[in-house]
Structure 1
Amino acid sequence: MTAAEIGLGLQSDKRPGDYARLARRAEELGFDVLSVFGDLMYQPPIFPLLEMAAATGRVRLGAACLNPYSMAPYEIAGQVAALDLASDGRAYLGLARGTWLDAVGIDRPRPLATLAEAAEVVYRLLRGDVEGYEGTVFRLAPGTAFRYEVRRPDPPLLLGAWGPKGAALAGRVAAEIKVGGSANPAMARLVRDRVRAGETAAGRPEGDVGVVLGAVTVVDRDGAAARARARTEVAMYLAVVAELDPTVELPPDLVARVAALVEAGRHEEAGRLVPGDVLDLFAFSGTPDQVAAQAQALIDAGVRRVEFGTPHGLTDDTGVELLGTAVLPSLRRDPAS
């Protein structure tokens, strides 16, 4: 039986009650972690996460990810403390530099220092450290502290990153690193190597930091329909993630052609340009057997957690049901049986 965790990543675009229903069923089906994305202009993750915390009792919960450019570290600390209290100690903290922030006039200078110092401020507040902190990006005046008790001083930290410097930072300070938008085993192995440099520098044992890969997921008994839907979903972010993966060589001008159609609102037409082999690098899609094979390839490449992202299926509920009843059992099967 694999030791890898299997999780679901949800977009925060649902109605009240939907999150509780999906989370409750996901826990019943045996998923380990439920994440809510922190994408620009969607509902703030804390709303669905608190609803999910009240509906579950076992799964780990967290935002993947919160952004220290658009949310101050003391606010991030307060939100993870609230989630940890509501879930009785099941929260994790996800931090990333984010993307598309130019749409709201936010620059992202000095990303490594910003992420590292944001994490430092968050955990000083959670620990009740009142000595103060003077960073190059963030500071805490001496005596600054929460005026309430927190559930835990150390919810695990997940950093969202693709590049070598971000991976090395995760190796120094995080429990996990998430590569969002990838289902590529070669990228998983590369990230593992990049993380190792940070682990070594921090005196941590090799493999101490878990590698998480997550991507758009569409599973259905009708594999062709699932893959068509996944192509449309992937087209919307291919231009962002494709250039981040140095293991991938895409056909000339593919990204530009796809991006132009997306910009024009022609999403399905853009998706039809995405070849099947490219789709498999950036999404989990097809029949349950196809999706399970993709996830198993990541686990074999050393991934500690696979995160199946929105939309899950042709509908949320059918996707979660199929992932839990037809994909998850095959990943948990003892190979010797």
Structure 2
Amino acid sequence: MVASGRIPIATGAALEYGDLVAELGRRVGIGLAARGDVRDVTAWARRAEDLGLDSIWVHDSYFERDPITYLSAMAMETRRIGLGAGALNPYTRHPVVVAMTMSALDDLAPRRITLALGSGLPLRLSQMAIPYDDTVARVSESIDQIRRLWSGQPLKLNDKVPPLQPMFQPPHRIPIYIAAYRTPFLDLCGEKADGYLARPAESLPAFQKMHARVLESAATHGRAAGDIDFRGYLLCLFDSSRQEALNRAKREPFVIYMISVLSDISMKRAGFDPALRSQIATAWRAEDYHRAGELIPDELLDAFILCGTVHHVAARANAYHEAGMDVPLLQPILQETAQVEAVLDAAVLYATVRTGVITPTRVAPVPTAPDLALHRGEGRVGAGIARRARGVWEVVRPFSFTASVLPVSVGGAIALSQGRMHWPLFIAALLGALGLHIGTNVINEIYDVRHGIDSITSPRMS
């Protein structure tokens, strides 16, 4: 490692940095959004590599930041860990541009790059005035075009002009995954993709059905089940207990949004009536986030999001693995340091629970496999009390009390100087002013939360 602390760009030489990376019992990765300080996200990537994780995936978050920039920074600062771009789509990024981009990433991180292609969201594409056509045909065609360019062959897209000739060096093999949930995409995955990437907030029953459909399609096209790798984003939210995490999730606007945009088929596959989603979506569109959160039952959150302690999340990831997900990708709903650290701990716990190789530093010793069963009462009483105390401090805002205490105190000082001080009335006035001030702070907080003005991620949410 160089003196600056940066990792040199990888070459074909021995991975001296990778030699120091721990080996886990089974593969696991994390997913991140293209948001926040690039340097912070890169530091998390280095930490994930140190822990021995399989890969980091960054998805294309509409109207946030560019995921390729984050992946480029990670490629510069790591030596071993896999880097996944997914899901990109052939509408906002032309297949030729995708081929060029992946070739450059492969130069920074040889043999560590993976690409996932999806269809894009119709609403977001419409907001950008991008035409939306036969998405399955477009993605299938894009896979063929990208692979042709990577092989160094010319590509003819317009009969009126000569074919384009790739000027970049052919990359090492870059696997292409399908990242879309409709049945025709599952069939396409079985036909020609290297893997399947499940979207965030996918229920376990839905994944099981999609897994079976992909393998059925693969068999139809003469492919073996082992030819296709299955991965998926698993959204996670951590707290001192499962119930605390569920309560927190219902107050998080992103969670409400994710639930409100679930498709009818996703709801039905998970065993829920789509009418429930419609009610939640109505409240969400009206910006009545408090009402929307009240409408979300715990069972609905459990079906689509991994909520609880590190042990809870590791157990849920294990359930997806047993359903056929080769590499779970744990993704924090709140991309903040504490939640990312919890994701890393859960990932290591999931990957080592059968082998006992590594014990996460912030959780109890690694249990045996049966210990992964969910304990709904799990959680530390002391941690819960401390969190509530911090929450009360934030809501009450004692630092602002000078605005109410000072005027009453000045009035008391004047009365005292004139010999007209009445101590019971002074104390009553002081307590009354403090009570009004506290009440105003609390009401203001409730109003901001219910109307979505504040996105609560602090202890006061409990």
| CA–CA distance in structure 1, aligned partners of residues 312 and 77 of structure 2 | 31
Contact 1:219 1:319 (C-alpha < 8 Å) held by counterparts: yes
Matched with 1:239 is 260
Which residues in structure 2 correspond to 1:130-145 (within 5 Å)? 130=154, 132-133=155-156, 143-145=163-165
- 1:249 corresponds to which of 264, 271, 291: 271
| CA–CA distance in structure 2, aligned partners of residues 255 and 169 of structure 1 | 29
Contact 1:7 1:31 (C-alpha < 8 Å) held by counterparts: yes
Contact 2:28 2:347 (C-alpha < 8 Å) held by counterparts: no
Matched with 1:86 is 108
Contact 2:218 2:225 (C-alpha < 8 Å) held by counterparts: yes
Residue 3 of structure 1: CA displacement?
Answer: 7.2
Aligned AA for 1:321? E
Contact 2:246 2:307 (C-alpha < 8 Å) held by counterparts: yes
Matched with 2:431 is none
- SS of the residue 1:5 aligns to: coil
Q: Structure 1: state its 5+ residue gaps.
A: none
Cα distance change of structure 1 residues 263 and 162 upon mapping to structure 2, 3 Å threshold: same
Which residues in structure 2 correspond to 1:150-229 (within 5 Å)? 150-152=170-172, 154-229=173-248
Q: Structure 2: state its 5+ residue gaps.
A: 1-22, 356-367, 370-462
Contact 2:103 2:168 (C-alpha < 8 Å) held by counterparts: no
Residue 78 of structure 1: CA displacement?
Answer: 1.2
Matched with 1:324 is 344
Cα distance change of structure 1 residues 333 and 249 upon mapping to structure 2, 3 Å threshold: closer
More relative contact order, 1 or 2 (CA 8 Å, 6+ apart): 1
Cα distance change of structure 1 residues 248 and 19 upon mapping to structure 2, 3 Å threshold: same
Cα distance change of structure 1 residues 87 and 139 upon mapping to structure 2, 3 Å threshold: farther
For residues 137-160 of structure 1, the C-alpha deviation after alignment (integer angstroms, 9 at most, x for no partner) is x989765222121332x3001111
Residue 60 of structure 1: CA displacement?
Answer: 1.0
- 2:296 corresponds to which of 274, 280, 284: 274
Indicate yes or no: 2:71 matched with 1:52: no
- 1:109 corresponds to which of 133, 149, 152: 133
Contact 2:83 2:114 (C-alpha < 8 Å) held by counterparts: yes
Aligned AA for 1:60? G
Residue 252 of structure 1: CA displacement?
Answer: 6.0
| CA–CA distance in structure 2, aligned partners of residues 271 and 84 of structure 1 | 43
Aligned AA for 2:137? A
Aligned AA for 1:40? Y
| CA–CA distance in structure 2, aligned partners of residues 140 and 228 of structure 1 | 60
| CA–CA distance in structure 1, aligned partners of residues 89 and 144 of structure 2 | 14
- SS of the residue 1:36 aligns to: strand
* Paired positions, count: 330
More strand by share: 1
Residue 325 of structure 1: CA displacement?
Answer: 2.7
Cα distance change of structure 1 residues 185 and 248 upon mapping to structure 2, 3 Å threshold: closer
Cα distance change of structure 1 residues 25 and 144 upon mapping to structure 2, 3 Å threshold: same
For residues 206-225 of structure 1, the C-alpha deviation after alignment (integer angstroms, 9 at most, x for no partner) is 24212222232112334444
Cα distance change of structure 1 residues 82 and 140 upon mapping to structure 2, 3 Å threshold: farther
Indicate yes or no: 2:46 matched with 1:24: yes
- Superposed CA RMSD: 2.5
- SS of the residue 1:253 aligns to: helix
